Structure 1
């Protein structure tokens, strides 16, 4: 089950399309969909989560809490809409594209992909692009 929660004035348009897409990402990785909660918030909200749970006093676009067990993909994905908007400007991409990249990124972590090394980051970016292309099909 995929749910979308809002701690800011932002709301996804066409939630069902996003829900189907996230399900397709999970299925494309031969995983099973568990409970996925997306929480859209602002920088301040996510900064407090970053300090409270990770002891990091920095802004970020995403924090994910992974509850995956085996192939059953579950977790809470917090996304700062403000940070995504700023990153979209910085990378000169559409907000919707950057948002989908971040949404896919969280799911890919649950599927076992990492991004700490250069090699892992390159694979993660390839997977993000692959999964973003599923959105428009």
Structure 2
């Protein structure tokens, strides 16, 4: 089950059911089964505290994904998304906030599927996957 939560921001998510169905279809296309995924939409400050406390990174980021999966096929995790970063990145990349939010939502799911983005090669594959699945959001 995919759950959406809000912390430290007044963000209101649109098209919840459509997003849940789309994200579930991404997992299935990647060969996984949906367990419990919690998305938490929050502020820069909220996510920075998590970044410092759990990852020892003292910088802003748009997303942090915690993989809670105990099974190779069943995907479970907590995905924290800074709405402040999403809005700023949408302006930077000249896309709608909705488009950038969907990119970040699928980015988190792809991390839970095992995709990384630390090297140039990994990042290239991650972007290709994101773009592929963004095109399937109708």
* TM-score using structure 2 length: 0.96
The aligned runs of 1:12-91 (5 Å cut-off) are: 12-68=13-69, 69-91=71-93
Tell me the alpha carbon deviations over residues 42-96 of structure 1, each in whole angstroms, 9 at most, x when there is no partner. 1000001101111111000000100122011110000000000001111111111
75-84 or 14-23, larger mean C-alpha shift: 14-23
Q: Cα RMSD between the aligned structures?
A: 0.7
Tell me how far 1:30 sits from its aligned partner.
Answer: 1.0
Query: Which residue of structure 1 lines up, in the alignment, with residue 120 of structure 2?
Result: 118
Query: Which residue of structure 2 lines up, in the alignment, with residue 6 of structure 1?
Result: 6
Tell me how far 1:14 sits from its aligned partner.
Answer: 2.0
Query: Which residue of structure 2 lines up, in the alignment, with residue 109 of structure 1?
Result: 111
Aligned structure 1 segments of 4 or more residues deviating by more than 3 angstroms: none
Q: Which runs of 5+ in 1 are unaligned?
A: none
Q: Which runs of 5+ in 2 are unaligned?
A: none
Query: Which residue of structure 1 lines up, in the alignment, with residue 135 of structure 2?
Result: 133
